[in-house]
Chains A and B, each alone.
Chain A
Amino acid sequence: MKKLMLTNEAVARGAYEAGVKVVSSYPGTPSTEITEFAAKYPEIYCEWAPNEKVAVEVAIGASIGGGRALACMKHVGVNVAADPLFTAAYTGVNAGLVIAVADDPAMHSSQNEQDSRFYARAAHIPMLEPADSQEAIEFMKLAYRISEEYDTPVFFRLTTRIAHSQSFVVTSEREERPLKEYKKDAMKYVMMPAMARARHLAVEAREARLASDVNRMGVNRAEIRSSKLGIVCSGAVYQYVKEATDASVFKLGIVYPLPMEAIRKFAEQVDELMVIEELEPFFEDQLKANGIACHGKEIFGRQGEYSVAFIREKLYGIPSPKSTLTLPARPPVMCAGCPHRGVFYILNKLRLAVSGDIGCYTLGALAPLNALDTCICMGASVGVSHGFDKVGSPAAKKMVSVIGDSTFIHSGITGIINAVYNQSDITCIILDNSITGMTGHQDNPATGRTIKGEPAYKLNLEALLKSCGVGSVRVVDAYDLVELERVIKEEVERPGVSAIIARRPCALLNKKYPPALHIEQEKCMKCKSCLRIGCPAIESIEGGVRINPELCVACGVCETLCKFGAIVG
């Protein structure tokens, strides 16, 4: 029976049908739901790892140990996982190993627009890319067949528009696969120079065989519609091209290595060959290097997402309607009751420089809090503030780093160890909201629950920081602004490495809120200082301020702020 399915769910379904035994991932938009859906199958062992590197290492172990394995991440997660991946390309696999990676053209929820296809080429790992949910299921099964037949890890690439769209699928039964026998084989699995030299030859031979075989694989196909123009494309762009044009299309299901001979044959059947691909000219440069005349990037550019209208406009000069109005923007905001809000209010009030990190709290950079100075990548906040200290920047004297609980575990902890070891003078605030928030509430090692909701050891952040040698570790209720201000002042003054854990669960975790607060208009002096915390529940109205009872969760942060006692429960 046909049913609508989110592509990320279809990736999980494909893994299930392929008999996958282990899934290990770190959440990251737009990849998160793959692992969440995989966790619903009792036949699959599924976990959240502390970061993408660990996730890939677990998947490598499961594969060498004899069971099909999957690790999922967003594009920037591959940067973290690149180390094991490049060498897993050398060892190859025992049972199939697939790495799902979701790119985010247009940066709906990311800090950069990197193109993960380059990892396939750099690491010599084949990469598949589906164009809808049904292909996601089929391609996952193909990915495992390729992985085992060619003895290689396989990348499975998605982009936001494919990962987060739903289309119809027909599902099949799971093919249960007994564990493959594990045989000790140091020449294959112990990568030291002597063994790795031999394996490097194997990698080259494998890639040559694959580069030839992909010309005959059905997932790479020519669809001849016109002899004038031929377009090479993949993924979401394939759908746009089919709808926007009547050109012939070469659809790539395997985006690395490229089926050069099949594309050359296709090129001979059309007068003009174009490549339409989002982000970098990955296909185009390779085709040109192989002497296949083509163009595209000079018209379409490297920025953002494409669409049917965009392709029509660039290709045929048909303008698409655009909004001509200047309207107030509606950026995402920290929720009413968000425990991060008060912390940023105090940091702003104390005029501290703040090295930020990746999570909901990155929103502290926006008006009216305007609290962040930097945001680079997962875990960077700690290292950045240490760098400020060591270069002798005057800003370092009044600086803190802020990092969430999950991000701290992901890669902030190593920054802390470095800072202590190298005698830094920094203050790190861990915004512990007891969940991985931005990606939609995933458990992590500090929540005391696994992805399947089972009880787990709850990582003790205080004890961990102390054992790293952090001189002062303080815990503060993130709603208690008075205490927060006092502790932050003290710790910024204190020499050496200190840590403050600002603790309070994410406001969205607690569904039973006390009644909304309100403003006693006769006491309100219209000073509007309550508006400076940027709470979506506090609105500027004609002649004053009101609290929206639909949104207020009575966290009380604004209550502390009001000098006139006008905000009451």
Chain B
Amino acid sequence: MLDILIVGVGGQGTLLASRILGAYAERKGMDCKLSEVHGMSQRGGSVVTHVRIGRSVLSPLVSEGEADYILAFERLEALRWSHYLKKDGILLINDQIILPMPVITGAQSYPADITEKLTAEGRNYRLVQGLTLAAEAGNTKAVNVVMLGVLFKMIGETEESAIQALEVSVPAKLLEINRKALALGYRA
């Protein structure tokens, strides 16, 4: 079973990322379930999408302490969901800060020591310059696909196979940018 949690801020494209992983599972002939968030939490709130790929998948949700990978599109969200990671799981963090409203208004402060806290929790994590790489690919919104590129490399998948999953999931006019984003993530 490959349990993946994709976390971020509403509008960062967690849904598309999960659907690309779904297309990947489909091509591999594996069973798969995706659990998405719609409605109120899409309005800039903390969002989480669950992806489970395996021979036979029952629950559409990844359990706490059982994620093989967490793709975090934002630093604070990485910390918020880190307890979902299993002991030897890996947390891939896009090194980007998006301030939540309580921080914007000054009611709370953004934790400065996120990586220290993760280290203290004993998490394996890796920071990815997702925003920079997405900009290099031609669109800062492609952070999600950059992060997928990193993931595909990590799970030992070929770049061709990853690109095939991408091709069936994104509209033709955005394919070129996303292909670049995936390649940059894969080589990051």
Task: Tell whether A475 is near chain B: CB-to-CB under 8 Å.
Answer: no
CA distance A440 to B15 in the complex (A): 14
Task: Tell whether A331 is near chain B: CB-to-CB under 8 Å.
Answer: yes
CA distance A366 to B80 in the complex (A): 21
Q: Are A165 and B34 in contact (CB under 8 A)?
A: yes
Task: Tell whether A148 is near chain B: CB-to-CB under 8 Å.
Answer: no
Question: Restricting to A277-316, which residues have a CB under 8 Å from any CB of B?
Answer: 307-309
Q: Are A328 and B83 in contact (CB under 8 A)?
A: no
Instruction: Say which size band chain B's interface belongs to.
Output: 35 or more
Known: A29-B39, A309-B63. A335 touches B44 (CB 8 A): yes
- Give every chain B residue within 8 A of A367 (Cβ-Cβ): 101-102, 105, 107
Residue of A nearest to B109 (CB): A328
Question: Restricting to A28-48, which residues have a CB under 8 Å from any CB of B?
Answer: 29-30, 32-33
Give 1 or 0 for each of B36-65: 1 = CB within 8 Å of chain A CB: 111111111110000000000111110111
Q: Are B105 and A368 in contact (CB under 8 A)?
A: yes
- Give every chain B residue within 8 A of A243 (Cβ-Cβ): 58-59
CA distance A367 to B41 in the complex (A): 16
Q: Are A360 and B43 in contact (CB under 8 A)?
A: yes
Q: Are A328 and B34 in contact (CB under 8 A)?
A: no
CB < 8 Å neighbour of A531 from B59, B64, B104: B104
Question: Restricting to B71-86, which residues have a CB under 8 Å from any CB of A?
Answer: 76-77, 79-84
Q: Are A108 and B58 in contact (CB under 8 A)?
A: no
CA distance A528 to B140 in the complex (A): 29
Task: Tell whether A455 is near chain B: CB-to-CB under 8 Å.
Answer: no
Residue of B nearest to A6 (CB): B36
CA distance A323 to B42 in the complex (A): 22
CB < 8 Å neighbour of A236 from B38, B60, B102: B60
CA distance A534 to B43 in the complex (A): 13
Task: Tell whether A262 is near chain B: CB-to-CB under 8 Å.
Answer: no
Task: Tell whether A512 is near chain B: CB-to-CB under 8 Å.
Answer: no
Instruction: Say which size band chain A's interface belongs to.
Output: 35 or more
B98 to chain A, nearest CB (A): 8
Q: Are B58 and A242 in contact (CB under 8 A)?
A: yes
- Give every chain A residue within 8 A of B82 (Cβ-Cβ): 323
Q: Are A166 and B22 in contact (CB under 8 A)?
A: yes
Residue of B nearest to A331 (CB): B45
Task: Tell whether B132 is near chain A: CB-to-CB under 8 Å.
Answer: no
- Give every chain A residue within 8 A of B25 (Cβ-Cβ): 4
B183 to chain A, nearest CB (A): 23
CA distance A331 to B10 in the complex (A): 10
- Give every chain B residue within 8 A of A4 (Cβ-Cβ): 19, 22-23, 25-26, 32, 34
Q: Are A328 and B76 in contact (CB under 8 A)?
A: yes
- Give every chain B residue within 8 A of A32 (Cβ-Cβ): 38
CB < 8 Å neighbour of A323 from B83, B106, B108: B83
Q: Are A309 and B64 in contact (CB under 8 A)?
A: yes
Q: Are A327 and B103 in contact (CB under 8 A)?
A: no
Residue of B nearest to A305 (CB): B61
Task: Tell whether A550 is near chain B: CB-to-CB under 8 Å.
Answer: yes
CA distance A63 to B84 in the complex (A): 48
Q: Are B43 and A327 in contact (CB under 8 A)?
A: no
Task: Tell whether A467 is near chain B: CB-to-CB under 8 Å.
Answer: no
Q: Are A321 and B83 in contact (CB under 8 A)?
A: yes
CA distance A331 to B76 in the complex (A): 13
Task: Tell whether A330 is near chain B: CB-to-CB under 8 Å.
Answer: yes
Interface SS majority for chain A: loop
A564 to chain B, nearest CB (A): 19
B6 to chain A, nearest CB (A): 13
- Give every chain A residue within 8 A of B99 (Cβ-Cβ): 539-540
CA distance A367 to B108 in the complex (A): 12
Task: Tell whether A423 is near chain B: CB-to-CB under 8 Å.
Answer: no
Which of B60, B81, B83, B110: most chain A Cβ within 10 A? B60
Task: Tell whether B9 is near chain A: CB-to-CB under 8 Å.
Answer: yes
Give 1 or 0 for each of A233-249: 1 = CB within 8 Å of chain B CB: 00010011011000000
CB < 8 Å neighbour of A239 from B26, B38, B58: B58
Q: Are B35 and A327 in contact (CB under 8 A)?
A: no
Q: Are B103 and A540 in contact (CB under 8 A)?
A: yes
- Give every chain B residue within 8 A of A109 (Cβ-Cβ): 38-41
Task: Tell whether B13 is near chain A: CB-to-CB under 8 Å.
Answer: no
CA distance A309 to B33 in the complex (A): 17
Question: Restricting to A353-377, which residues have a CB under 8 Å from any CB of B?
Answer: 360, 363, 366-368
CB < 8 Å neighbour of A308 from B37, B63, B101: B63
Residue of A nearest to B103 (CB): A328
Task: Tell whether A168 is near chain B: CB-to-CB under 8 Å.
Answer: yes
A49 to chain B, nearest CB (A): 20
Give 1 or 0 for each of A511-535: 1 = CB within 8 Å of chain B CB: 0000000000000000010011010
- Give every chain A residue within 8 A of B108 (Cβ-Cβ): 328
CA distance A167 to B57 in the complex (A): 9
Known: A335-B44, A534-B104. A328 touches B38 (CB 8 A): no
CB < 8 Å neighbour of B104 from A132, A363, A438, A540: A540
Q: Are B64 and A332 in contact (CB under 8 A)?
A: no
Q: Are A167 and B41 in contact (CB under 8 A)?
A: no
Task: Tell whether A325 is near chain B: CB-to-CB under 8 Å.
Answer: yes
CB < 8 Å neighbour of A334 from B26, B43, B59, B61: B43
CB < 8 Å neighbour of A328 from B32, B37, B40, B102: B102
What are 11 A-B residue pairs whose CB atoms fall within 8 Å in the complex?
A: A4-B19, A4-B25, A108-B41, A309-B63, A309-B64, A320-B64, A330-B101, A331-B101, A332-B45, A363-B43, A540-B105
Task: In the A-B complex, list the 5 residue pairs whose CB atoms are closest, starting with the nearest.
Answer: A109-B39, A29-B39, A332-B45, A165-B60, A332-B43
15 more A-B contacts (CB under 8 A) besides A309-B65, A332-B41?
A2-B26, A161-B60, A166-B19, A166-B32, A167-B57, A167-B60, A308-B61, A309-B63, A320-B63, A325-B79, A334-B43, A368-B107, A438-B39, A534-B104, A538-B104
Give chain A's interface residues, CB within 8 Å of chain B: 2-4, 6, 29-30, 32-33, 108-109, 132, 161-162, 164-168, 236, 239-240, 242-243, 307-309, 320-323, 325, 327-335, 360, 363, 366-368, 438-440, 528, 531-532, 534, 536, 538-540, 550
